[in-house]
Amino acid sequence: MGAIAPRPLTDGEQARADAYILADLEMMARAKNYLAWQRDLVAPELGARVLDVGCGVGNLTGLLHDREAVIAVDKDPECIARLKLRYGSRSNLVTAVCDATAPEFAAMARYRADSCLCTNALEHISDDARALAGMAEAVVPGGNVVLLVPAFQALYGPIDSNLGHYRRYSRGGLVKLAESAGLRVEKVRYANLIGLAGWWANARLFKRQAQSERQIAFFDRYVVPAMARIERLAPQPAGQSLLLVGRRP
């Protein structure tokens, strides 16, 4: 799973992380090619009724408009408020402010979701094992839990820390985590090989404290389209992210 951050965040640190995350999410909302690539990566694994855990401001939620139902869940009320401003008129959208590790999360099972999506959110949760077990229980038997998480603890840098990441994941550790949650792992693979080099440079060479808007725009316009075509042709030996699909028996 990768190393846990040395201690839980204080209330002040969490507030700063939440503000930093919101700014980062709003910046990423403009990366249209990158978000479309993420959607194409996860969409084949999703069913008609999707529980979107850690939905943020809805950057990916908004691209799931073709589903019968999307239940968008985030622990940050501000994220849900901004998501509702963007997509609140959609009849197939349900929103909820809820922590995936809280007892109240069990109520999400009432929506009878046949798939659960968690993209770039599990690393923000201190007790990721508890959160993933809750996601597994929230989908109907035979349903999928689809995870997209940052890979390689060696890439952990200032941006990870400022985003409130507790860890980055190893392939074997993520598989063990999914299995301990009662999921049968159907697929696990790396994604975004080119992004791995960029994240390493930001973390180790430049020690950046935040993602660069100019860097994101360049990556989105010139790199993502080529990367998407390459990754459709063959599995990648490594990547900035890990995709795992687990099925509830």
Q: What is the pLDDT of residues 76-100, one digit of tens each?
A: 999 999 999 999 899 999 999 999 9
Domain tally for the chain? 1
Instruction: Tell me the C-alpha distance between 81 and 19, whole Å.
Output: 14
Instruction: Tell me the C-alpha distance between 104 and 114, whole Å.
Output: 19
Q: What is the pLDDT of residues 151-198, one digit of tens each?
A: 999 999 999 998 889 999 999 999 999 999 999 999 999 999 999 999
Instruction: Tell me the C-alpha distance between 149 and 124, whole Å.
Output: 10
Structural domain contains residue 124 = yes
CA 101 to chain centre: 16
Structural domain contains residue 93 = yes
Structural domain that includes position 195? 11-247
Structural domain contains residue 156 = yes
Structural domain contains residue 233 = yes
10 Å Cβ neighbour count for 229? 9
Structural domain contains residue 5 = no
Q: In the chain, which residues have pLDDT < 50?
A: 1-6
Structural domain contains residue 1 = no
pLDDT of residue 16: 80
Structural domain contains residue 2 = no
Q: Does pTM top 0.85 for this prediction?
A: yes
CATH number at residue 115: 3.40.50.150
Structural domain contains residue 183 = yes
